[in-house]
Structure 1
Amino acid sequence: MGLNDEVGRRIRELRAARGLSLSELARRSGVGKGTLSELESGTRNPTLETLYALTTALNRPLSAVLDDDPPPRAERHAAAVSGSAVTAVLIERHEDDDAVTDVFRITIAAGATQESAAHVPGTTESLTILSGTALVGVLGAPSTVGPGGTVCWPADTAHLYHAPHGDVHGILLVRYRAAAL
């Protein structure tokens, strides 16, 4: 089964578990009903923005549609999802009583900007830059961060990623409070 099929199956399962119709999830997420149907059937390639819109509407972390119970690290094959500026590969998912934390290896494309909608209430993001310089954080008050630097921001509000001078590579932690899920 390919990535599109796996993601589609997980979206469908999460939607059913929440007792939502296709139309209701489309309304809550702002994703078109036709697009959602194609995603669930595995015939459409999901974008990062679309997956965040759906998982936020489902009140779940992004990793809920990218990764089932993860196999041992040696058996993993990383799957990348892309948005308008950011390509993200889920490399770890940690869950405890307090939170779910998704760890991504990301690339922000040179000159590109991606505005991300608010995630589930209480969500935070933390980005450590490996190379390049990024402008990231809360919309209207982003921070500039370079190699070796780390910036954190509340991700339950609109935020952005921008690579003004070349590709940016980094490690992104997205932490969802368990109480919000």
Structure 2
Amino acid sequence: MAVVVWIVEGTWTACVDAARAHVPDGSEIVLLHVSGHEEPGVAHGAFAGLLGRGSPTQDPGSLIERLAAESAHRLLEEAAERLGRPCTRVERSGRIEREVVAAAEDADLLVLARDGDRSRLGPRSLGPHSRFVVDHAPCPLLLVWPEAAPDLSGIPAPPPHHP
């Protein structure tokens, strides 16, 4: 079984714990982290626009890219340690939701966590990236709550019956 576990700051422990609990021993597990290109791009653009042709060594976009790569590497190391079994670590960058879907192309299972409003049940418990992944994943999903799920009292009443 080939399993991709999407590692995101703030929710990764729930995904790793779900993989430990639900993925059979001997499965091929890929821990995936995707860095978006938006923040470094904004910094590169601001530097170029505000400061013209300044020294490329002072471009804050480069610093943001380096810090993001270091953070991703540390996060994947912690995730692998928590998983406690053989795995592959993959770092990708680009449009987050599309990179996750592409990484799951040959997977038998994708593990991800809710990342939106986690105070109540419903579609808003998924952020934009995870909503895209849920809608476009090419494989089955294991969607987990990063903490205890809210109780069922937040479910809206059914619509009134129309005769």
What TM-score does the superposition give when structure 1 sets the normalisation length?
A: 0.23
Larger % of strand: which? Answer: 1
Relative contact order: is structure 1 or structure 2 higher (C-alpha 8 Å, sep ≥ 6)?
Answer: 2
